[in-house]
C-alpha cells in the first residue's frame, strides 16, 4: 500500500457537525479544549499519549482497520493521532476543520469497544482517549445530529426515544393484555415495592420492539418471579449521553435509574439484552456518580437467564433445532465477562452450536456500538462498509452451517441486521429472549 488516503474521504453530510463547526472560532476551540484537558483529564491521558511508541501493534485489534484493508488511518493509534496527539501537541490551537475530522473519527470510526486495549502491549486505553475527544466535541457543540437528538430526548424525558410518561405505561399494559391471550392472569407488575427483580429496558424496546417486553413477561411469569417494572421515568436504562460526551446528563440518567429501583426497595436490577446500557450502569455511569461498583446489584439478562437454567426455574419443551452461532457483544464480554454464561444458555437451549471465530473477548464488534449506529443515516454507508470483516466472520460461521445468529444486545442487532442485509448473508438474528420464549414450556 502506498501513502494513506487523505484523511477526509468524502464531505460529511451531518447537520449537527456542520452547524456546530460554523459556530466555532479558534479562540473558543482553544478555551474549551484546555478547560476539558485541565479540569477533566490528568495522568491517565498524559500517560496514554506519552507512552505510545507508535509501533502500530494495536492495528490488528481494530475491526475498522481490518475492514478497510489495513488502511493505516483506521488503526487505533491513528485515530489518536488525528485527535488528541495533535490537540495536546498544539495545546488546543487547532482549526475548526481539524475538529470536524476529529468529531467524525471519534463518533463514527470508533465503537469504543476496547478490543485494541487487548492488542496494545502497554494496555493503553484508546477508547478512553476517544471518549475524551467526544467530551471536547460535546462541549464545542459539534455532535452528529441523530445521536444528539437522542441525547436531547434523554434530557427532556429521561428516555432515549421521546416516549411520554403515559405512553410508557400504556405500552406495558398493552403488552400485558396481549400476553394474557397466551397466559391467563399474566401480569406486568408496576411499581411493586420489595420485588426481587426490577426489570429495566432501553427506550427502543417500547418504541420498536415491544414484543421483547411481552416475551420477558412470559419468561418471568413462567419462572414464578417476584418482579416489577417502574411506571415512572428511570425505567429506561439506556444512555446515549454517555456516548455524546454529555457526562452531566449521563449522571442524571443513571441516578434516575438507580433511584427508581431503590425507591421500590427491590433486591436487584435485571437489565434487558442491551450492551451499551450495561456499560452505562456498570462501568461509566456508576463511576461518574462516585460508585466504585453499582450501588445496587445489577445483572444483565444473560446472567438472569443463566440463573433460571442453573436453578431449573424454567423448563423447555424441546431445544431450538436450527444451528446457531453466537455474537459476543463488547460491552458485556470485554465489559463484564459474560461469554461463558452465554454459552451455558446456548447449550441449554440449542441443539447445534457453531462458534464464530474469533470469539469471546476477541470477537469483532458489530460496528454499531459506541453510539455509532445512533449517528444515523449520514454515516450508515460508512458503518456498513466498516462491517466487512464482521461479514466475513458471519459468512464463515454460515459456511459451517449456522443459520441463526444470537446477539444478546440491541445495538448489535441493529448493526448485524444492516451487515447481514448489505452483504447478503441471509442469516436470522435472535435475542436469547426470542429463543427462550420460543421453546419455553408454559407452566399449567
Partner 1 sequence: MHSIYSFVTGPLAWLAFIVFIGGSAFRFYSLYSLARKKDALVFEYMNLKFALRSIGHWLTPFGTRNMNLNPAMTVVTFAFHICLFLVPLFVFAHVIMWKESFNISWFTLPGVLADLMTLVVIFSCGFFLYRRIMLPEVRYLTTAVDYLILFIVAAPFITGFWVYHQWAGFPTMTILHILSGEIMLVAIPFTKLFHMFLFPFTRGYMGSEFGSVRMAKDW
For partner 1, the binding residues (CB under 8 A) are 1-2, 4, 41-44, 46-48, 50-57, 59-61, 65, 70-73, 75, 77-78, 81, 117-119, 121-125, 283, 287, 292-293, 333-337, 339, 358, 360-362
Please report, for residues 33, 83, 96, 265, 295, the alpha-carbon distance to residue 27 in angstroms, rounded to integers and kept in the order given. Answer: 10, 18, 10, 50, 41
Q: Give the residue from 409, 434, 408 showing the smallest Cα distance to 212.
A: 434
Q: Give the residue from 10, 8, 13, 83 showing the smallest Cα distance to 52.
A: 83
Minimum Å gap between C-beta 300 and partner 1 is 12
Indicate the residue among 48 and 320 with the shorter CB distance to partner 1. 48
Minimum Å gap between C-beta 43 and partner 1 is 4
Indicate the residue among 106 and 333 with the shorter CB distance to partner 1. 333
b/e burial code for range 102-120 (CB count within 10 A of at least 16 → b): bbbbbbbbbbbbbbbbebb
Minimum Å gap between C-beta 287 and partner 1 is 6
Minimum Å gap between C-beta 123 and partner 1 is 3
Minimum Å gap between C-beta 58 and partner 1 is 8
Indicate the residue among 167 and 307 with the shorter CB distance to partner 1. 307
Minimum Å gap between C-beta 400 and partner 1 is 21
Cα R_g (the chain), whole angstroms: 22
Q: Give the residue from 26, 230, 37, 31 showing the smallest Cα distance to 129.
A: 37
Indicate the residue among 46 and 421 with the shorter CB distance to partner 1. 46
Indicate the residue among 337 and 401 with the shorter CB distance to partner 1. 337
Indicate the residue among 73 and 209 with the shorter CB distance to partner 1. 73
Minimum Å gap between C-beta 82 and partner 1 is 10
Indicate the residue among 161 and 333 with the shorter CB distance to partner 1. 333
Minimum Å gap between C-beta 261 and partner 1 is 21
Indicate the residue among 54 and 265 with the shorter CB distance to partner 1. 54
Minimum Å gap between C-beta 366 and partner 1 is 18
Indicate the residue among 7 and 348 with the shorter CB distance to partner 1. 7
Q: Is the peptide bond before 358 cis (omega within 30 degrees of 0)?
A: yes
Distance CA 98, CA 109 (A): 15
Indicate the residue among 139 and 398 with the shorter CB distance to partner 1. 139
Minimum Å gap between C-beta 305 and partner 1 is 18
Question: Residue 292 burial by CB count (10 A; 0-12/13-18/19+): exposed, middle or buried?
Answer: exposed
**Close Cβ partners of 295 (under 8 Å, ≥ 6 residues apart):** 258, 262, 286
Question: Cell 495522568 identifies what position?
Answer: 43
Indicate the residue among 134 and 334 with the shorter CB distance to partner 1. 334
Minimum Å gap between C-beta 399 and partner 1 is 22
Amino acid at each position: 500500500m502506498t501513502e494513506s488516503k487523505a484523511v477526509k474521504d468524502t464531505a460529511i453530510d451531518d447537520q449537527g457537525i456542520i452547524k456546530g463547526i460554523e459556530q466555532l472560532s479558534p479562540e473558543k476551540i482553544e478555551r474549551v479544549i484546555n478547560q476539558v484537558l485541565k479540569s477533566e483529564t490528568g495522568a491517565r491521558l498524559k500517560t496514554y499519549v506519552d507512552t505510545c511508541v507508535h509501533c502500530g501493534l494495536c492495528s490488528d485489534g481494530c475491526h475498522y482497520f481490518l475492514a478497510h484493508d489495513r488502511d493505516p488511518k483506521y488503526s487505533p493509534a491513528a485515530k489518536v493521532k488525528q485527535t488528541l496527539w495533535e490537540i495536546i501537541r498544539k495545546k488546543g490551537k487547532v482549526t475548526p476543520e481539524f475538529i470536524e475530522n476529529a468529531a467524525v473519527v471519534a463518533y463514527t470510526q470508533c465503537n469504543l469497544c476496547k478490543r485494541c486495549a487487548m492488542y496494545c502491549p502497554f494496555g493503553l486505553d484508546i477508547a478512553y482517549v476517544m471518549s475524551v475527544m467526544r467530551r471536547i466535541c460535546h462541549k464545542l457543540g459539534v455532535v452528529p445530529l441523530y445521536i444528539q437528538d437522542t441525547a436531547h430526548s434523554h434530557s427532556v424525558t429521561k428516555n432515549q426515544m421521546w416516549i411520554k410518561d403515559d405512553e410508557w405505561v400504556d405500552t406495558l399494559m398493552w403488552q400485558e393484555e396481549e400476553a394474557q391471550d397466551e397466559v391467563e392472569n399474566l401480569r406486568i407488575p408496576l411499581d411493586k415495592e420489595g420485588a426481587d427483580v426490577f426489570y429495566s429496558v432501553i427506550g427502543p424496546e417500547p418504541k420498536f420492539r415491544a414484543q421483547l417486553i411481552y416475551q420477558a413477561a412470559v419468561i418471568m411469569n413462567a419462572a414464578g418471579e417476584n418482579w416489577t417494572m417502574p411506571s415512572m421515568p428511570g425505567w429506561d436504562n439506556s444512555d446515549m449521553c454517555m456516548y455524546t460526551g454529555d457526562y452531566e446528563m449521563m449522571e442524571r440518567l443513571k441516578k434516575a435509574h438507580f433511584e427508581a429501583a431503590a425507591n421500590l426497595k427491590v433486591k436487584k436490577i435485571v437489565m434487558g439484552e442491551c450492551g451499551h446500557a450495561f456499560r452505562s450502569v456498570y462501568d461509566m455511569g456508576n463511576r461518574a456518580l462516585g460508585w466504585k461498583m453499582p450501588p445496587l446489584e445489577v445483572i444483565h439478562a444473560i446472567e438472569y437467564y443463566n440463573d433460571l437454567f442453573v436453578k431449573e426455574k424454567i423448563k423447555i419443551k424441546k431445544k431450538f433445532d436450527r444451528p446457531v452461532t453466537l455474537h459476543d457483544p463488547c460491552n458485556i464480554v470485554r465489559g463484564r465477562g459474560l461469554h461463558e454464561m452465554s454459552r451455558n444458555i446456548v447449550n441449554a437451549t440449542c441443539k447445534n452450536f457453531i462458534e464464530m471465530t474469533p470469539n469471546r473477548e476477541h470477537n469483532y464488534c458489530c460496528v454499531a456500538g459506541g453510539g455509532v449506529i445512533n449517528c444515523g443515516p449520514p454515516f450508515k454507508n460508512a458503518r456498513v462498509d466498516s462491517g466487512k470483516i464482521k461479514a466475513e466472520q458471519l459468512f464463515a460461521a454460515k459456511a459451517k452451517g449456522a443459520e441463526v445468529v444470537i446477539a444478546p444486545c440491541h445495538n448489535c442487532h441493529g448493526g448485524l441486521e444492516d451487515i447481514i442485509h448489505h452483504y447478503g448473508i441471509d442469516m436470522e438474528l435472535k435475542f436469547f429472549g426470542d429463543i427462550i420464549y420460543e421453546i419455553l414450556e408454559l407452566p399449567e
